[in-house]
Amino acid sequence: MKHVKTLNNANLKKSAATGGCGECQASCQSACKTSCTVANQKCEK
């Protein structure tokens, strides 16, 4: 594409179908304890 560069795989929808195993870290257990960012958590699969 000339006008657009896409940075990633955009797999959020696919992840809904295959996700939900619940093994990943609870987000508050990381470095914050006061402010929640979930998108920096790692998938365990």
Partner 1 sequence: MIHQYSLNGYQIVLDVHSGAIHIVDQVVYDLLKLLSDEKGELKVEMTPVCPEEIKAQLLKSYSEEEIKDAYDEVLELYQGEVLYSKDDYEQYANMMVASPIKAMCLHIAHDCNLRCKYCFASTGDFGGGRKLLSAETGKKAIDFLLKYSKGRKNLELDFFGGEPLMNFDVVKEVVNYARSKEKEYNKNFRFTITTNGVLLDDDKIDFINKEMSNVVLSIDGRKEINDQLRPAVNGKGSYDVIVPKYQKLVANRGKNPGDYDQYYVRGTFTKHNLDFSKDVFHLNELGFDQISVEPVVSPEYAEYAITEKELPRIFEEYETLAKQLIQRKKEGTGFNFFHFMIDLDQGPCAIKRLRGCGCGNEYVAVTPDGDVYPCHQFVGMEDWKMGSVEDLSVDFKKKDYFAKANVYAKEDCKTCWAKFYCSGGCNANNLQYAGDVLKSHKISCELEKKRLECAIMIKAALADLDEE
Contact footprint for partner 1 (CB under 8 A): 1-13, 15-16, 18-20, 22-44
Q: Which of these, 35, 14, 38, 18, lies nearest to 26 by C-alpha position?
A: 38
CB of 7 to partner 1, least distance (A): 4
Which residue is listed with tokens 């896409």?
Answer: 6
CB of 40 to partner 1, least distance (A): 4
CB of 11 to partner 1, least distance (A): 7
Q: What phi and psi, each to the nearest 5 degrees, are found at residue 7?
A: -85, -20
